[in-house]
Chains A and B, each alone.
Chain A
Amino acid sequence: MERSPLVPDPGSAASSPGLPRNLGLPEYVTRRPSGFYRTLNPATKLAIAALEVVTVFLVPGWLGPIAVLLVLAVVAAASHTARALAVIGLAASPLVISIMVVNLFILPGAVDPIFRAGPIAPTWSGLWFGLLTSTRLLVFSSAVALAYVTTPVDDLLADMSRRGLGRRGVFVVGAAVQMVPRTIERVGEIMDAQRARGMDTEGRIWRRARAIVPLAAPVVFGALTEVEERTMALEARAFTAPGRQTQLRVPADRSRDRALRWAALLALAGVVVLRLSGRVG
């Protein structure tokens, strides 16, 4: 019988160290992340991100955002994710600018103008409040983004299913998380198709706004069809068959993960309790 090229040669597979590359396994099974933060268990990263988010918003004043910012800066540098975070920061810049402008000029109750030029009177308290709000926003999104960019989606899902989330739950979370990049890609292609049919998406703002309308239908319908098709494809491959599934790879959950996770959750509880009891702020 002819050997199909997809079936691995058992001899060569046995001779290579660790998991053999060409065992016909998907790439996410054989690929290994490296580095301290990247190799943390996904649940640990989520716990840390949760602590950071709560600290940013519950610890009043500059203490919370600055403390978290320092932690993030160290981790981002160590895990080589500074670039990715910078891109996310840039993407948030329109929001940051509008927050700054709005607060600077029209913070309610602010009576300490920096200068006056007719009706224009930016205030010191507006400036501070705008800066603080923007920093919180940026630190919050960086904390979530850091966990996201360092965690392969498959790892997150594999870990959740091991923790007993159930196949349907894992599928729902997976579909939601993967929806983001897929939707971005789809929007790009749909816009191309519509420009090809003469839709003017360049130039004035109202023209671009008008172009959003014909975008909505294919984006939403396309996403729904895709989820439906993927559900059926999973069914066809016995996704909901009774019995335990074999997991090809499970992200490690070491003692340092458990320690870090407990520490993060305790600290989180601590921040919440201190805040509620009014001792902070």
Chain B
Amino acid sequence: MSAATAARTTAAPTIEFEGVSFAYPDGTQALDGLDLRIEPGETVAIVGQNGSGKSTLVKHLNGLLRPTAGRVLMDGEDVRAVHVARLAARVGLAFQNPDRQLCAGSVKAEIEFGPRNLGIRGAELDERVKAALDAVGLAGEVDTNPYDMGYSRRKLLAIASVLAMLTPILILDEPTTGQDARGVARVGSVVAAAAAAGRTVIAVSHDMRFAAECFGRVVVMRDGSVALDGAPAEVFAEPHWPELRAANLEPPLPAVAGARLGLGSTPTDATLVAALVELAPERG
């Protein structure tokens, strides 16, 4: 990434949800007095059972949905006043369903769509396309028609098409759905690279392992508000399991193993291994 683009992505705003409620026109109360603050550069996994309001929450961040009560602020500015197309320069959102956003006849054109709308042209555009394709492992598919690709690769393409916008805030709605182990690892490295560049990364996921391994913070949603919020080691600690299970979530395997072995909260493979090594240092 060039120095110029790196500089542009460092200015991530602080995000604040203040008592946000949202009801769909049919009356479904999807968000219910939600409070949440996300600092610049944080990596946040939003988890929760189907219908708990995760997708609704992230659509408030780029103004696609406007709260029926409460406010969404970015660096203190109410996003209600800002056009979606303007917010798109700051917030990139890859939707849950790739088929409802891919619109071009080739992979290259698809990735160019967002940056072009932001006014990017020429060498910088080419550079962004290449970087985004490399990031998701689709470099060999520049001229493929997106509709000839399988679901998992369309999903990766949708992520790449948002990555190329280099927005200070990157949001991925269920990026790992339908991905094999390698695909999940790819998405994980996308998250890590974006975080290293100072971007705020928010991902909605049903994959507790992915949430624990790749994010610094986990937010558990239940019935349209925040039920648990903290580092993976806090949220997945044994005392919270009843609450997790009430939200139809299972703590990741290393967390369960660590608790059973009396090693404390070990939500990731690495923390579990470290705790085990400490337990039996002579073998490690």
Contacts and interface: CB of A to CB of B under 8 A. Distances in A.
B83 A198 contact: no
B9 interface: no
Contacts of B99: 218, 221-222, 225
A160 interface: no
A199 B112 CA distance: 12
B165 A198 contact: yes
Given A198-B165, A202-B83, A186 B147 contact: no
**Most chain A beta-carbon neighbours within 10 Å: one of B62, B64, B103, B105:** B103
Interface string B100-120: 111111000000011001100
A225 B146 CA distance: 13
Given A197-B161, A198-B118, A200-B117, A218 B85 contact: no
B17 interface: no
B97 A197 contact: no
Contacts of B103: 190, 194, 214-215, 217-218
Contacts of A189: 95, 97, 100
B129 interface: no
A197 B93 CA distance: 8
B113 A196 contact: no
B147 to A, nearest CB: 5
In this complex, the interface size class of chain B, counting residues with CB under 8 Å from chain A, is: 20 to 34
Contact of A196 (B95, B104, B118): B95
B89 A190 contact: no
A221 B84 CA distance: 26
Interface residues of A, number: 21
Contacts of A201: 85
Given A193-B101, A198-B85, A202-B83, A214 B64 contact: no
Contacts of A192: 59, 64, 95
B162 interface: yes
B88 interface: yes
B9 to A, nearest CB: 16
Contacts of A221: 99, 147
A195 interface: yes
Contact of B100 (A193, A195, A197): A193
B85 A202 contact: yes
B85 A200 contact: yes
A214 B113 contact: yes
B85 A217 contact: no
Contacts of A195: 64, 84-85, 88
Interface in A172-204: 186, 189-190, 192-202
Contacts of B113: 194, 197, 199, 214
Contacts of B147: 221, 225
Interface in A228-275: none
Contacts of A197: 88, 92, 101, 113-114, 117, 161-162, 165
A190 B88 contact: no
Interface string B14-31: 000000000000000000
Contacts of B89: 198
A217 B104 contact: yes
Contacts of A199: 85, 113, 117
A186 B176 CA distance: 23
A193 B95 contact: yes
Interface of A: 186, 189-190, 192-202, 214-215, 217-218, 221-222, 225
16 contacts: A189-B100, A192-B95, A193-B95, A196-B101, A197-B88, A197-B101, A197-B113, A197-B165, A198-B165, A199-B117, A200-B83, A201-B85, A217-B103, A218-B99, A218-B103, A221-B147
